Structure 1
Amino acid sequence: MRRSSHWTDRIDDETDDGGSAALEFIVVGLLLLVPLVYLVVALGLIQGQSLGAEAGARHIARALSTAENADAARRSADRILQSVIEEYDLDPGSVGVSFACRPAGATCPAAGATLVVTVQTRVALPLVPPVLGLDRLASIPVEASAAQKISRFWGSG
């Protein structure tokens, strides 16, 4: 094995970085791209679920405020909720609906009162395993409310 004593041969051996820039670009690109893609997917899921909760609250409030009586209001609200769950791909087990009337103390629903409908759901973050309940812990609560004035002729039909 022959050793070179010329100093330019030693410099060439020490600074041989040919081809490492492409490898560094790929590694750094992947390290930055994977979290960015995950963030975009997670925010897309949260946005879709929040649109579903908002649509459910708005349509249920409108249907209840224009219904003829309590039975028609209940049937209409159930159909609307089922439709919204299917349309926006909500988890049926995590969707909750609550009703309140204003002014406080008014029987709900009552003619002339203001009905407030609130729809709550939870968005499970993608790629979270169901180990030790992590899927339940890594979920984002989403809530939407809608207010609608109940017809003064409510219950008269």
Structure 2
Amino acid sequence: MPRSNRSAEPSPGERARGRSRWRDDAGSASVEFLAVGVVLLVPLVYLALALGQLQHAVLGIEGAARHAARSIAQAESHEAGLAAADRALRVAIVDAALPPDAVGVAITCSPDPAGCDTARGTVTVQVDATVPLPLAPPFLALDVGLGIPVSARASQPVSAFGGAP
């Protein structure tokens, strides 16, 4: 019978040391935590910032539309109503931290489109805005995809006893 050469095979003690070398995870938990934390935490924080800024702007333009419509409907004249609505819109836009050039306003009056002081008429104010995304670098000068369009519409009836004499 030929003798086998067992010297090429590792001894049981060497096998245990080899396995422990590959199974030793000392220090890898902190690396995994940092890697997964950065991969998950950074987008989550950005999403929270973006949603907060979007909600802030939505509430601002909704209030702007509502107050502008109310200012026009309760004014003594059409011109006084437009001036009061302009002030209300400016305050709401500044409070919402929106750039004034990113906001559009449309005012319609019914049944008389020429003036919003007709008794029993309706004033409708539509405010459209583009909310810029937070931390979007302005030096890239990209005009597409860096904002979220939002809009608000408010209608207010003019009193049956108010309006033009």
What is the TM-score when the length of structure 2 is the normalising length?
A: 0.83
1:74 Cα deviation (Å)?
A: 1.8
Query: How do 1:39-78 residues align onto structure 2 when only pairs under 5 Å count?
Result: 39-78=47-86
* Deviations 1:17-68, CA, capped at 9 Å, x for gaps: 2110121012101111111111010000110000010000000100100101
Change (3 A) 1:31 1:139: same
Report percent identity of matched pairs.
43
CA contact (8 A) 1:124 1:136 kept: no
CA contact (8 A) 2:78 2:115 kept: no
Structure 2: how far apart are the matches of 1:30 and 1:57?
Answer: 40
Residues 114-137 of structure 1 deviation map (CA, whole Å, 9 limit, x = unaligned): 111111111011122235643542
Counterpart check, 1:154 vs 2:157 = no
- Kindly tell me the number of residue pairs found equivalent between the two proteins: 152
Equivalent-residue separation in structure 2 for 1:27 and 1:132 (angstroms): 29
Unaligned runs of 5+ in 1: none
Output one character per residue of 1:62-114: Cα deviation in whole Å (capped at 9) or x when no partner.
010010112211211111111112222221111111112345x6544122111
Which amino acid is the alignment partner of residue 163 of structure 2?
W
Aligned partner letter, 1:147: S
Q: Structure 2: any 5+ residue segments left out of the alignment?
A: 1-9
- Which of residues 13, 20, 35 in structure 2 aligns to 1:12? 20
Instruction: State the structure with more CA Rg.
Output: 2
Worse-superposed segment, 46-55 or 122-131: 122-131
One-letter identity of the residue aligned with 1:40: A
Label 1:88 to 1:130 Cα distance change in 2 as closer, same or farther (>3 A). closer
Query: TM-score under structure 1 normalisation?
Result: 0.86
What is the aligned-residue RMSD (CA, Å)? 1.9
Structure 1 CA distance, aligned partners of 2:163 and 2:119? 5
1:154–1:95 Cα change, 3 Å? same
Runs of 4+ that moved beyond 3 A: 105-108, 130-133
